Amino acid sequence: MKKIIPVLVALALIVIVAGAAFGSRLIERYTYSQEKADMYEYFHIIKEEEVPIMLQDELLEEKAVMQDGCCYFDLNTVHTYFNDRFYVDKTEQLLLYTTPTEVIRADIGASAYQVDGEEKEAGYCVSFSRQQDDSVVYYIAVDFVKQYTDFTYEVFDGPCRMQVYNQWPERQVADIKKDTNVRLLGGVKSPILRGIAEGEQVTVLEQMEKWSKVKTEDAFIGYVENRYLENERTETPQVEAFPPRPEYTSLTKEEKICLGWHAIYADSGNGTLDEVTAASSSLTVIAPTWFSINDNSGTLRSFASASYVDKAHEKGLEVWGVVDDFNYKNDTGTGIDIGSVLAATTSRTTLIDQIMRGAADCGMDGINIDFENINETCGEDFIQFLRELSIRCRKEGLVLSVDNYVPYHFNSYYDLEEQGVLADYVIIMGYDEHWAGSPEAGSVASLGYVRYGIEKAAEMVPSRKIVNALPFYTRLWRTEGTVVTSEAYPMTSVDKVIADYGMESWWDEETSQNYAEARNGDVLYQMWIEDPQSIGAKLTLMQGYDLGGVAAWRLGFEPAVVWDLIGAYRKQ
């Protein structure tokens, strides 16, 4: 017995030690951590001035900044999330905001701003800029953005952060039943974001078995145990009444239009009006190529004629004068930098003033903008020009139309969506699928290409504002080895070309065009023909879309029968 007692004692001690260790592990496992989360790490704050943005229930990568007690968004954040109509003139250091009826303007770094010339005081710096790495970043006061944009925001301390809402859908909410903590992750060992008191309300973002992901009213997203939630319900947020925003009005017509471009490269071209409209019974709008930008200050060369307009009106035609950015160089060899013209408010204003003066002097009914040298660097400047021009056109009752390439990702800076708001008509030049400098021979406007252009535009522009432009020309392609060249011919010359080159032709189902070819030694001649049959196929396609009408480049290149086809299209 004496020998057994020490053994029992030893076993008891082992059990006690093991139990203590197990109990300690249990206590450690189930005891709530009191560790506090690093708020700067949680909000990804690197600099003291940075203000994290909680937009709806998402913490944005972008941050606002605090300066002199005001919050500021950088321009990119404003464009991405709030309002892309704010524009910075980097040449003259101006912030502009354009409504359907007026231009709001502020010097960068100033607290004053002007609304159509009338000065107002904001009481804070409206915008400022600062150098960042190799670029300049522009910031706009959140309160100034809010003057023209529907959103709400609230700023909280500890650390400084902001909650922003620009959408207000129904949400799941709950009340806190008893004082507890919001934790970084679900689990008792997760660090504490903040304590939360009985009666506080949270938005329930995701509910799991024991924990729920919630957002507090002061912009923390974390986790709370389900047992601390009560009175769960669906709630529609109460939104402040925003001021009414001016609406963009339009002069888009109920009936389909038919616009024909009249190529005029000198004053004498005005005398060909009767000739080019002799057979065009279905034409409703004539667009003479009258105006070309001729220097970087925004002045225009003009061939406009009041007598031409009077005669066109007698024929029942509206006149929409064309303004282009290429014909002056084509005629004189002197080029302009369209980016420089559009990037500066002074030259944009000069250009718009000259356009409006030209329209008033000859009594035009509309403006047709044909800027074909826009690139990615001046895309925003081009759209700002259209905004400012649209105000003037709206005031004077002039129709504003804009010519565009078939939309692809590489020319998205033409911003058809915004054009569809600003302009009365967005014209898609449904041709030049293969163009003068094309590296391969092919159709000017296959049916598939036309279909793509219409459908892509309709994703961004109301269909009744879309006008599809047809080619009244075709190209003869010459391929010798790897060298490909082409020459454009009017539709009326096609039969002679085919005869001259001894070409054979047949209908090509893929392009919905007659195709012709011939060989002369090592040279291959090809032509995808635009003729009444191909034009008819395009018009039949267009009937499947509720478009605003049809246009054509150019008048005088077409056989008379084409106008019967267009007339039938317009009546349907």
Name the band, by pLDDT with cuts 50, 70 and 90, for residue 116.
Answer: confident
pLDDT value of position 7: 54
Q: List pLDDT tens digits, range 313-344.
A: 999 999 999 999 999 999 999 999 999 999 99
**SS3 assignment, position 560:** coil
How many angstroms separate the CA atoms of 428 and 550, rounded? 9
DSSP 183-248: ESSSSTTSPEEEEE-TT-EEEEEEE-SSEEEEEETTS-EEEEEGGGEEEEEEEPPP---PPPPPP-
Q: List pLDDT tens digits, range 150-166.
A: 999 999 999 999 999 99
As a whole number, the mean pLDDT across the chain is 95
Report the candidate in 148, 143, 185 with the shortest Cα–Cα distance to residue 164.
143
pLDDT value of position 240: 83
How many angstroms separate the CA atoms of 527 and 505, rounded? 9
Residue 19 burial (CB < 10 Å; 0-12/13-18/19+)? Answer: exposed
Domains with residue ranges and CATH for the chain:
42-164 (3.30.457.10), 168-235 (2.30.30.40), 257-471+530-571 (3.20.20.80)
Residue 548 DSSP one-character state: S
pLDDT value of position 96: 98
Question: What contacts 188, CB < 8 A, 6 or more positions away?
Answer: 30, 31, 32, 33
> pTM of the prediction?
0.93
- Mean predicted confidence (pLDDT) in 515-534: 98
Please identify which residue in the block is written with the tokens 């329930």: 204
Q: List pLDDT tens digits, range 234-268.
A: 999 988 899 999 999 999 999 999 999 999 999 99
For residues 572 and 388, the model is more confident at 388
pLDDT value of position 6: 61
Q: List pLDDT tens digits, range 275-313.
A: 999 999 999 999 999 999 999 999 999 999 999 999 999
- Mean predicted confidence (pLDDT) in 372-391: 98
Q: List pLDDT tens digits, range 15-33.
A: 564 554 444 454 456 699 9
How many angstroms separate the CA atoms of 71 and 143, rounded? 8
What values do phi and psi take at 495, rounded to 5?
-60, -40
